[in-house]
Chains A and B, each alone.
Chain A
Amino acid sequence: MNPTLEKTTVPPGKSLKAVLFYAALLVTALIWFAPVITLVLTALKDAGDFAVNGAFSLPKSIRWSNFSEAWETGVQNYFWNSVIVTSIKVPVGIVLESLAAFALTHMHFKWADRIFTYILIGLIVPIQMTLVPLTLLMNALNLIDTLTGLTILYIGFGVPFGVLVMRGFFRTIPIAIIEAARLDGASWFRIFYRIALPLALPAVISLSILDGVATWNEFILAQIFLRSDELRTLPLGLVQFSTQFSTQYDQLAAAVLISVAPIVLLFLFFQRYFITGMRGAVK
């Protein structure tokens, strides 16, 4: 009865059911996505339009300059700070985490289970438990209000999740492969970077993405350990931006969109890695 449905794979007898199913799904998706749609619409209209017609109406005229204005007003600074921190934290973290995870899975290490449990504690610690001593430590090392200091903290806090994901993957590498290489006289380090790491490439990509997103989004450590405006990372800068320009919804929305753009791109192109990475973390 509905001409568009004939093109789908649904058998004709089920078409009414299918219509209802899709309708329910579409309504749910629309409600679920309304905040994002609102955000995009707000970023595209000028503040006056927003004030008169509210959030969910189509823009009277599209105002791209919101993006350039937000970018100029400081978002570019926050953006590049986030890029610097993320692009150092993620690769360094993954090297440390995979080395550790390899030792815990393949090196016949009798303390492996105990060390793994010790590392897992980090997954459950409320970050508030660490803030005061870290403030003292960072102060003593002169690392307060530096991107270096923040990056070091991120690497430390990333260890538990990274080890968990990499260990989960290394466990699936058949032990026979490792032992064959041992018999051929390969050193452990060589086995690690010539055999284990290449085999674990999907896990490395998954972890890079999950870790990159987590670093990009991190708020509380940045809030406590960065003091000057020009060093702020995006989440912190945006919250600051929102208190400073509380009425300029159009620019703030544009700023938010700029901040999520890299993540959206990652998500669109590497979606399956989000999923395998998350599953790896619980297996």
Chain B
Amino acid sequence: MPTSKPRENTKQPARGTLPSPKASDDHLRFLPWLFLAPALLIYTVIVVYPMIYSSYLSLFRWDGISPKKVFVGLQNYLTLITQNEVFWIALKNNAVWLVAALLLPTSIGLGFALLLNSKFRGSHIFRSIFYFPAVLSLAVVGLIWTWIYHPDLGLLNQALTASGLPGWRRNWLSDPQIALYPVIIAATWNAVGLPMLLFLAGLQTVPEELLEAAKIDGAGPIRRFVHVTFPLLRETTLIVLAITAINALKAYDIVYAMTNGGPANRTQLLSTWMYFLTYNYNTVGQGTAIAVILFLITLVFAVPYIRFMTRKA
């Protein structure tokens, strides 16, 4: 139900006007808590408490095993910033990934949505084809694209040779200069589906009469898009950008499946480097510090998003 947004529940009528069918209305004040308790309890224990505890652990030097944690203040953050080269590679990679995620899946998703918005024969088949990669796990996407990038047998290099461009062949995933980009392309393939669906939903709210009127006034398809359709998609676009940014910063599985951070740490992201520091090098303090930094970066995009989701009528 994309257009109707009943808002009657966010603001209830004043208490006195509500029907109070039972005399014992007082116990009802606890009842919502009872409904909420199971979900809130497990969510708090599994998600919220660990978040807070991670922030706390990021202030200690600790190997994860010994009983002794040494309080070091912000030292872990300083060490990362001043001495950890891979941290900077990962940060830069996250930035590249983020920019790519804001540009590619969103614009391709919008393009597919515009293509599919006109009802034509077979449109639902094409919608399935374009959406399909989005239902695959990132591990599977990573495996499939690893074959595509295979230096000898992979589809990409074979296609390049077949189209007379053998000079463009690369060892896509083992060339440290470029390895990040093929991974991003694979992630994009998976990330297009959601923006496409959201834009399709948004396009259906654009009134046909407006487009007709613009057409009568002599506006071509491009001008109709720029001056009519796109302004009406503003809200959808903002949601799409926020969600893709948040998802981009969560990227992990696909890097693990395709390159595991290599070659020479060139495809590390903050998320994968956090894993290395914590579970391979046992520097738990630095690992959790990276997680906190990643969270703070996410907040830049998440705060407006959450504001929007909890907006009042």
B53 touches A133 (CB 8 A): yes
A133 touches B49 (CB 8 A): yes
> For the complex, would chain A's binding face be called helix, strand, loop or mixed by DSSP majority?
helix
B310 touches A117 (CB 8 A): yes
For residue A1, CB closer than 8 A to chain B, the reply is no
A179 touches B198 (CB 8 A): no
Query: Whole-angstrom distance from the CB of B264 to the nearest CB of chain A?
Result: 19
Q: Which of B10, B22, B243, B256 has a CB less than 8 Å from the CB of A113?
A: B10
Interface code A127-146, partner B: CB below 8 Å = 1, 0 otherwise?
11111111101000000000
For residue A182, CB closer than 8 A to chain B, the reply is yes
B138 touches A99 (CB 8 A): no
A219-B139 CB under 8 A given contacts A104-B36, A126-B294: yes
Interface code A236-269, partner B: CB below 8 Å = 1, 0 otherwise?
1011001000000100110010011001100110
For residue B167, CB closer than 8 A to chain A, the reply is no
For residue B220, CB closer than 8 A to chain A, the reply is no
For residue B140, CB closer than 8 A to chain A, the reply is yes
Interface code B39-57, partner A: CB below 8 Å = 1, 0 otherwise?
1101101111111011101
Give the A-B contact count at a CB cut-off of 8 A. Answer: 300
B54 touches A51 (CB 8 A): no
Chain A residues lying within 8 Å of B42, measured Cβ to Cβ, are: 96, 152, 155-156, 159
Q: Counting chain B CB atoms within 10 Å of each CB, which of A35, A38, A117, A253 scores highest?
A: A35
A132-B154 CB under 8 A given contacts A106-B9, A115-B36, A238-B140: no
Q: Which of A99, A160, A278 has a CB less than 8 Å from the CB of B36?
A: A99
| Count of residues in A whose CB is under 8 Å from the partner chain | 109
B242-279 CB contacts (< 8 Å) to partner A: 243, 246, 249-250, 252-253, 256-257, 270-271, 274-275, 278-279
Give bound CA distance, A106 to B35, whole Å. 11
A107 touches B201 (CB 8 A): no
B155 touches A267 (CB 8 A): no
Q: What are 15 A-B interface contacts by the 8 Å CB criterion?
A: A25-B115, A119-B43, A122-B48, A123-B246, A126-B250, A164-B309, A172-B6, A185-B22, A235-B140, A238-B140, A249-B147, A260-B135, A275-B197, A278-B194, A279-B197
Apart from A55-B153, A128-B274: 9 A-B pairs, beta carbons within 8 A: A9-B121, A55-B155, A107-B35, A125-B47, A132-B278, A164-B309, A220-B256, A235-B138, A252-B143
Closest 6 CB pairs of A and B: A156-B46, A217-B137, A103-B35, A133-B50, A130-B50, A124-B302
B residues lining the A interface (CB < 8 Å): 1-2, 4-10, 12, 15, 18-19, 21-22, 28, 31-33, 35-36, 38-40, 42-43, 45-51, 53-55, 57, 64, 115, 120-121, 124, 126, 128-133, 135-140, 142-148, 150, 153-155, 158-159, 189, 194, 197-198, 200-201, 239, 243, 246, 249-250, 252-253, 256-257, 270-271, 274-275, 278-279, 284, 287-288, 290-292, 294-295, 298-299, 302, 305-306, 309-310
